[in-house]
Structure 1
């Protein structure tokens, strides 16, 4: 059965760490793909807010 796992972080290194930790829990043969996205939002004088997200597709 095909499954997805979603990840959402404010920092790219946090996203990398979370995905790597998850990938250790699944068999390499069950890995299908990763879809990645970055979104930004302008917060006026406070600067920009970044949202790094990914979806890992795998077989269970």
Structure 2
């Protein structure tokens, strides 16, 4: 069965750690695709907030 796992973090290192922990439990051949996105919110006069997100499309073992 094809599944998705979505990650959303404020810091890229947190995203990296969460994804690595999840991916370590999968067989490489079961990973179909990984999508990555960064969004910045705010204006130049205020502090910008970043959102680092990713989606893993994979085959879940039965």
- TM-score, normalised to structure 2, is 0.88
Give the structure 1 partner of residue 55 of structure 2: 55
- Greater strand proportion: 1
Secondary structure (helix, strand or coil) at the match of 2:4 reads strand
Structure 1 alignment gaps of length 5 or more = none
**Which is further off, 41-50 or 10-19?**
41-50
Q: Distance in 2 between matches of 1:21 and 1:48?
A: 28
| Root mean square deviation, CA, Å | 1.3
- TM-score, normalised to structure 1, is 0.90
- Greater helix proportion: 1
Count of aligned residue pairs for this structure pair: 60
